Amino acid sequence: MARILVVDDEPHMRRILATNLQQDGHAVFEAGGVEEARKKIASGEYEAVITDQKMPRRDRSGCPAARTAG
Amino acid sequence: MNTDLERSPRLIPQTLASFKRQQSKLAILNLIVLATLLLIHTFFANHFGLPTPTLLTMLGAAFLLRAVELIWVQQRTSPLSPFGLQLLTSGSIVLNLALAFTAALLTNRPDAQYFVLLAMPIIEAAFTFSLFSTLAITVAAGMLNFLWIVLYGWRHGQVLPNEYFDAATISLIYGCVGVLVWMLVNDLRTNQIELARNMSELEQTRERLLVEEKLGAVGRLSSAIAHEIRNPVAMISSSLATAMRGTVDAEQREMMFDIAAKEATRLEQLTNDFLAYARPRPPTKVVNNVADLLAYVADLSRAHADSRSVSLTVNAPDELLCDCDPVGLQQLLLNLVMNAIDASPPVATVTLTGKGASGRVLIEVENWGEGIPPDDLKHIFEPFFTTKLRGTGLGLAIAHTIARSQGGDLTLTENGPDRVRFSVNLPAAVGASIEMVKH
């Protein structure tokens, strides 16, 4: 079992991924955007982050969440 | 495309207008020369003797012929072909040569002023024929001059040597005129070819750019459509596959079906929106009261505005009428107002204004907030361009299409730093006989 953070601005896609990962026995955490993902990564330990590549950011820099999280 | 032009030594009238201009000027010049010569003959009757009835008849016939030529040229609906133009010029040259010689014979003087008519064939040849042909006509004119002196000497027994000298001088002037006019015409022709070549290159470049632009737009549109469709389709298939897993409980299965249904609805909405953009319904124009229309759109948007703590204000004079399709205009304004509400900070105001401006009606939708970033400006009316989290990017594109289909336009008239304003320009209603629409 792994702690996985799913980052996607599409809530439906996030729910589908989370449900499937939970079915496989993982502990799944969700973030709906770059800022939220950054906060969660700063405050918790995750073995994997699954993220959408392109997400809108409040500051419109278009920086992928993976880069921020990594 | 310029091969005919480049092969030809002539100055070819390219259009009907230039053909009419060139041939009319030559015909008018011929008419003026004929009239002037006859006036001179009458004015100096003491010296030349009065024009004989035969001469008068001949000059009158030539005048009539030139007048008919002028009218015929003016009434043409297409320029003459190069061959037709050569034929017309040849006829005109022969006519003037014959006219000058016959008039000299009828005047019966060694200094017959009608030889001035010989200048016209030389000018016409320089306009229409090659340098060689122009020189040939010049030589023919000179020889006619000499022939007349010889003939006069033969008929009257003697010719003064200065008559030959005069004929030689006049022939030299003919030659100079011929060469000079041909050089000028040739210069014009070179410029004409250069201009035609540049125009052709410009046209080709314009066509190539248009094709590239169209291909680019089709590519961007296809990519945007694929992207917008792929996401909901991927979610429908993933959610259904997840629901089919034996391990999920009833609640999770329910949630997956719900996601599939919502994404299918989203796909349907996207298709409808895209059709509204790509195939807008034909507008049915009627007279609309702008204030009523704006109030109706504000009412429709009120719930959304309240949910974001944004207030709506409508300003329009009661008597302002526009000639437009109310359904299309409502959709256009609703898209603008929804965008304005979404772009507004909390506790802001969105203002809908209607005003008349020189036969047009101007409707403005203004919201507080930062302007649209400069990089985004050129894309705002493109389909599928959006900066919203949940936007399809079709709202402004549809609004723009509707405005155009109603004989108006939609433009961004103010952009920041603290407010954004879109303006819809529409035709004002002419007369009040058409049925008014109530909202």
List pLDDT tens digits, range B57-86.
998 999 999 999 999 999 998 888 888 888
How does B184-203 read in b/e, with b if 16+ C-beta sit within 10 Å? ebbeebeebeeebeeeeeee
Nearest to B11 by CA among B146, B159, B126, B166: B126
pLDDT tens, position by position, A45-70: 899 999 988 776 554 444 444 444 44
- CA dist B367 and B345 (Å) reads 9
Q: What is the DSSP letter of B113?
A: G
- Which residue in the set A16, A23, A60 is minimally distant from B239, CB to CB? A16
pLDDT, average across residues A8-30: 93
- CA dist B4 and B12 (Å) reads 10
- CA dist B181 and B381 (Å) reads 57
B322 within 8 A of B355, measured Cβ to Cβ: no
Nearest to B121 by CA among B92, B86, B143: B92
B436 within 8 A of B423, measured Cβ to Cβ: no
- Which residue in the set B231, B248, B263 is minimally distant from A19, CB to CB? B248
**How would residue B294 be classed by pLDDT, with cut points 50, 70 and 90?**
very high
Place of tokens 């073995």: A47
Interface test with A, best of B228, B230, B240, B247 (most A CBs within 10 A): B247
B329 within 8 A of B293, measured Cβ to Cβ: yes
B329 within 8 A of B406, measured Cβ to Cβ: yes
**How would residue B50 be classed by pLDDT, with cut points 50, 70 and 90?**
confident
Residue B286's CB: how many other CB atoms inside 10 A?
Answer: 15
B136 within 8 A of B122, measured Cβ to Cβ: no
Largest CA distance in chain B: 136
Most confident of B1-5, B198-202, B324-328: B198-202
Nearest to B295 by CA among B334, B254, B339, B324: B334
Percent of chain B with pLDDT over 70: 94
Bridge-based pairing of strands B311-315 and B349-357 is parallel
Tokens representing residue B195 in the block: 């201009």
State CA B170 to chain mean position distance: 49
Is-cis flag, bond preceding B79, omega within 30?
no
Q: Tell whether the model's pLDDT for residue A35 goes beyond 80.
A: yes
CB-based contact B235 A19, cutoff 8 Å:
no
In sequence order, what are the residues at sequence separation of 6 or more whose Cβ sits closer than 8 angstroms to the Cβ of residue B187? Answer: none
- CA dist B258 and B239 (Å) reads 9
In sequence order, what are the residues at sequence separation of 6 or more whose Cβ sits closer than 8 angstroms to the Cβ of residue B10? Answer: B82, B85, B86, B127, B128, B129, B130, B189
DSSP three-state, residue B185 = helix
What are the start-end ranges of the H helices in B319-429? 326-343, 374-377, 395-405
pLDDT tens, position by position, B311-346: 999 999 988 999 889 888 998 999 999 999 998 988
Tell which wins on pLDDT, B376 or B254: B254
pLDDT tens, position by position, B415-424: 978 899 999 9
The amino acid occupying position B128 is T
List beta partners, residue B410: B424
pLDDT tens, position by position, B122-172: 988 888 888 899 999 999 998 888 888 888 888 887 767 788 888 888 888
pLDDT at B409: 93
DSSP three-state, residue B102 = helix
How far CA A41 is from CA of A12, A13, A18, in Å, comes to 22, 20, 17
**How would residue B257 be classed by pLDDT, with cut points 50, 70 and 90?**
very high
How close A16 comes to chain B (CA, Å)?
6
pLDDT at B8: 52
Tell which wins on pLDDT, B241 or B359: B241
pLDDT at A69: 43
Size of interface A-B (CB pairs under 8 A): 36
Tokens representing residue B189 in the block: 């022709």
**How would residue B56 be classed by pLDDT, with cut points 50, 70 and 90?**
confident
- CA dist B112 and B330 (Å) reads 85
pLDDT at B221: 78
Q: What is the mean pLDDT of chain B?
A: 86
Q: Considering only CB atoms, which chain B residues are within 8 Å of A62?
A: none
Closest chain B CA to residue A8: B389
- CA dist B310 and B297 (Å) reads 15
Tokens representing residue A62 in the block: 């278009």
pLDDT tens, position by position, B30-47: 999 989 988 888 888 887
Q: What is the pTM of this model?
A: 0.50
Tokens representing residue B255 in the block: 């949630």
Place of tokens 């009608």: B114
Q: Tell whether the model's pLDDT for residue B271 goes beyond 60.
A: yes
What are the start-end ranges of the H helices in B245-322? 250-278, 290-307
Question: Which element (helix H / strand E) includes B197?
Answer: helix B161-244
Tell which wins on pLDDT, A19 or B49: A19
The amino acid occupying position B386 is T
Tell which wins on pLDDT, B295 or B388: B295
Report yes or no: A56 at the B interface, CB cutoff 8 Å: yes
CB-based contact A19 B387, cutoff 8 Å:
no
In sequence order, what are the residues at sequence separation of 6 or more whose Cβ sits closer than 8 angstroms to the Cβ of residue B29? Answer: B120, B123
CB-based contact B239 A12, cutoff 8 Å:
yes
CB-based contact A56 B231, cutoff 8 Å:
no
Q: What are the residues of chain B with a beta carbon less than 8 Å away from any beta carbon of chain A?
A: 231, 234-235, 238-239, 242, 245, 247-248, 252, 255-256, 259, 262-263, 373, 387, 389
In sequence order, what are the residues at sequence separation of 6 or more whose Cβ sits closer than 8 angstroms to the Cβ of residue B280? Answer: B328, B398, B401, B402, B405
What sign has the CA pseudo-torsion B295, B298, B300, B302? Answer: negative
